[in-house]
Chain A
Amino acid sequence: MMLKVTSAADVTSAHIDLDVDAVIIGSGAGGAVMAYELAAAGKSVVVLEAGSYVPSTQFNETFPDMLELLYEEKGNQATKQGDLLVLQGRCLGGSTVVNGCVTFRVPDFILEKWGKEYGLTNLTPEILSPYFEKVERNLSIHINQPHEINENSRKLEAGARALGWSVKPLSRNIKDCALTGHCLSGCKTDRKQSMLVTYLPWACHHGAQIFTDTFAARIVTENGRAKGVQATMVDPVTKHKVADINVKAKVVIAAAGAVQTPLLFLRSEIANSSEQVGRNFACHPSTMIVAQFAQDIFTWRGAMLGVYVDEFEHPDKGGFVLEGGGAGPIELGMSTEPGTGKAYLDFMSRAKNYASCISLIHDHNVGRVSLVDGEKQIDYQIADADFPAMKAAFKAAAKIYFAAGAERVFLPTGDKRVIESEEQIDTVVDGIENHPFALRMVSYHPQGTMRMGSDPAKSVVNPYGETHDVKGLFVCDASLFPTSIIVNPQESVYALSNYIADRILEDANDYFA
């Protein structure tokens, strides 16, 4: 199966001019859904993707290789000070190709907050519910069945149950999961229902054109209205420019993600009367807590993510979730600090005995994405106000694992912190201070840099996804979220993108006349 795309290798002309109804920048969760919905409604659509088209036949299930092939900056995209990796897909299909398949609807309490504090009274559970139902049908989203919950997740489940805490199977967008555990390296057998095998081919079926290796440099506007995009196609191997691509469009839609979308707007010097473009970055800083058991667990075997502890999900109860997430040797070997030399090899020699879980916190939007000397810069340091949630997540995970019979728990810190018994939990965790490199953090969920809201002075985008400043210019990725949503964002982006597409189509006579 090969998707019909135009890549750098296909182009012989130095200039390409296109004239379409809609140009979409980015082919991930937001861009692909938007492309399909508009194309299916009969609109001419072009998708511009900065990454390359990597068919799943090239996925080799070796994480470091795939980091270099499929991820932004070969997996090296980090915050300014370097202690938080921001992992995003840079390939056709974007992060949907490399995520762990976990899906959630935006929690109702988050929607309620968005309504009260940001004027998003249109985004009620009742209005969004049909959109969630639709993408759930289209993407085979289902609650994990018993065979999709591996021994690793069963430890988390058993510990939580023993403590009387709420734990549930996760939902995932996957069909006939083969239980390889290699989700983060892309699904070689196309069982993950990523955009590569769903909305993008469906959009193509309805006539959408896709250009990969194509970097959108600027959005073009005229008299306060979006007019198109200037882009450059670059050979992914030589890094040389292959062609200039100018797209004239009646509607421009940014779906490049919470890092690249604000950078595109800043380069274009548009839609920033609120001075909020790039601000309010949040990312669910995520860590991996590792517990040692006497018996074999093989954390990397089976479905990568099985269950989650939602006991503390609401901010009033802690504002964090724990997801039973497996890890291969590479991730395991870098997730904690067991000591140097022999101590490290001793730790790794017990790899099959470890269970691991991922913590996600409901972080405040304290970060910023900006251009400094023309270069991307991500400023983010976990806020002091959010640090207690992080420590509470460690304590809860440790309690769960000891309740499940763990011998010791390794914390995801820069220095060595190992908890040998339940009695030590508070003392060891309370000793962690909030400073750079204190924790080993990763983010798969950048959000919030193009805040959505009803007040043009405090937000970039209106409640229907259109920028306050520029008519016909929309955003449909996770940068819209006014606050972090605490749970994995892909399904929320799918649904919001579909919702925004419908609003565009409702006013088709205005936008596409």
Chain B
Amino acid sequence: MTKPIVPESIQNEIVSALAPMKRRRFLTIAVHGLLVAGAGSLVSACTESPVGDMDAGKALSSSQMAFFQRLAQILLPTDGTEMAPLESVPVLRNLDEMFNGMSAQIRSDLGKAIDLFECGGLVMGWNFSRFTRMSEQDAVLYIDSWQAGHPVLLGIATVLKKLVYAAYWRDARTWGALQFAGPVSETWGLPSLGEAPLPLLQKV
């Protein structure tokens, strides 16, 4: 197991701040937990400043697109591997489409999670840097520390990772490296069996 680099004192502050709260959703709890733990102004400042100059998508803002671009680079370092190059797979477009199909509530929760993850390094783990500006090595350690931390942090890191992985592997160009054939029924020329014949009327 990776050792948490988020100081226990801060984690404990978050946990104790969470205890009396009765919010409906864990991501909301997480954001408020950090605010109560004294990081509110930093998080707020962080989310207000632009990270990159990327175009906004249908559902993702410009800064969210930049965030996911950096997260994908850290999670999927395909250079020197047999995997489909990250640049050849429309991960950001796929993520944007996935977000576009989610309910407003889930999108809102994930937006808060992204803000928290992006800015958490300013107040936790002695990084003093937002996630998108960390070196590759620091970014990996930062992610691992979240997954070894409080369940709320673990949950956020896990969800963000899954989103990026899904956006990458759903593209057919990534399957060749795994020898995964993808859809086969048409390739194999499989006929449809159609409706099953009507059964005989039978009483039990």
Contact = CB atoms under 8 A, between A and B. Distances in A.
A63 B183 CA distance: 10
Contact of A349 (B74, B81, B109): B81
A438 B151 contact: yes
A445 B148 CA distance: 30
B185 interface: yes
Interface in A172-200: 175-176, 178, 180, 182, 188-191, 193, 197-198
A189 B158 contact: no
Contacts of A435: 151
A357 B77 CA distance: 29
A76 B147 contact: no
Contact of B1 (A83, A176, A188, A417): A417
B155 A337 contact: no
A377 B151 contact: no
For the residues of A in contact with B, the DSSP-based class is loop
A130 B75 contact: no
B2 A74 contact: no
Contact of B192 (A56, A139, A300, A377): A56
Contact of B27 (A73, A82, A188, A298): A82
Contacts, number: 176
B24 A349 contact: no
Contacts of B76: 341, 344-345
Contacts of A334: 162, 165-166
Interface residues of A, number: 74
A287 interface: no
Nearest to A372: B24
A352 B190 contact: no
B101 A68 contact: yes
Contacts of B148: 415
Interface residues of B, number: 63
B45 interface: no
A140 interface: yes
Given A62-B182, A197-B194, A340-B140, A130 B155 contact: no
B159 A416 contact: no
Interface in B162-202: 162, 165-166, 169-170, 172, 174-175, 177-180, 182-185, 188, 190-196, 198-199, 201-202
B193 A189 contact: yes
Nearest to A78: B106
Interface stretch (A325-333, A397-405, A453-461, A476-484): A325-333
B103 A205 contact: no
Nearest to B141: A340
Interface of B: 1-2, 24-27, 74-78, 81-83, 98, 101-103, 105-106, 109, 136, 140, 143-144, 147-148, 151-152, 154-155, 158-159, 161-162, 165-166, 169-170, 172, 174-175, 177-180, 182-185, 188, 190-196, 198-199, 201-202, 204
15 contacts: A40-B201, A61-B184, A76-B103, A81-B26, A130-B204, A175-B196, A188-B185, A190-B195, A329-B174, A330-B169, A340-B74, A349-B177, A351-B179, A437-B151, A440-B158
Given A82-B109, A437-B154, A438-B151, 20 more contacts: A62-B182, A80-B26, A82-B27, A139-B196, A178-B185, A190-B193, A198-B196, A202-B196, A339-B144, A341-B74, A341-B76, A345-B76, A349-B178, A351-B178, A414-B147, A415-B2, A416-B147, A431-B1, A437-B155, A440-B158
